[in-house]
Each structure stands twice: as structure tokens, then as C-alpha cells.
Amino acid sequence: MGLSLAIAVLVDATLVRCLLVPTTMTLLGDANWWTPRPLRRLHDRFGMHEAPSVEFTGVTTAPMPAGAASGRQSSEALDLASAPASREEIL
């Protein structure tokens, strides 16, 4: 029984998940993501949809505080009095 279960798991992992699923998804293309009408109505009703795509414009970096390159932090970075006290102040 244990040997047959091990063989079944091996066949599932190699043949089905590594060969059949990617091949089928490649052949079907956009039809992979087709939604049946009742499920589409459910998504529309409750507002479930894909997030809008975001265009990546590049990496922006903030200037380093004084002393950060040497491993020391400036007194401004350690000043906790100016930090927001609650979540509402952040938002």
C-alpha cells in the first residue's frame, strides 16, 4: 500500500504537474482564465476584480541621513517625539 501511494504521488508530481498542466495552459492561452457566467456575476456583485496594473518607472532612493554611511544615526533619526503616536495619525 505504501509503495503504490509513493508511485501515485511521484506520477502526480512529475507527469501531471510538471508536464500536463503547463502544456495545457500553453495550448489554451487566454481560455485558461475564462470565468463562467454565474461566477462572473458573483464577482461583479461583490466587487471582486483584478487590481489595476501598475507601471514600474524605476527605483527611487531617499537621501541617506548624515552619519548613516558610517553606521551612526543622526539625532533626527532617533527623535521619537515627532513620530506619530497612533495609526490614525499615520493615515
Domain that holds residue 42: 1-46
Whether residue 24 is contained in a domain is answered as: yes
The string of pLDDT tens digits covering residues 21-80 is 999 999 998 888 888 888 888 888 887 767 777 776 766 666 666 655 555 555 554 555
Whether residue 60 is contained in a domain is answered as: no
Q: What's the pLDDT score for residue 84?
A: 56
The backbone region for 30, taken as left when phi is positive above 0, alpha when psi lies in -120 to 50, beta otherwise, is: alpha
Whether residue 84 is contained in a domain is answered as: no
Whether residue 37 is contained in a domain is answered as: yes
Whether residue 66 is contained in a domain is answered as: no
Three-state SS letters, the chain:
CHHHHHHHHHHHHHHHHHHHHHHHHHHHHHHHHCCCHHHHHHHHHHCCCCCCCCCCCCCCCCCCCCCCCCCCCCCCCCCCCCCCCCHHHHC
Whether residue 31 is contained in a domain is answered as: yes
Could you tell me if 74 and 85 are in contact, meaning their C-beta atoms sit under 8 angstroms apart?
Answer: no
> pLDDT-based confidence at 4, cuts 50/70/90?
very high
pTM of the shown model: 0.39
Total structural domains within the chain: 1
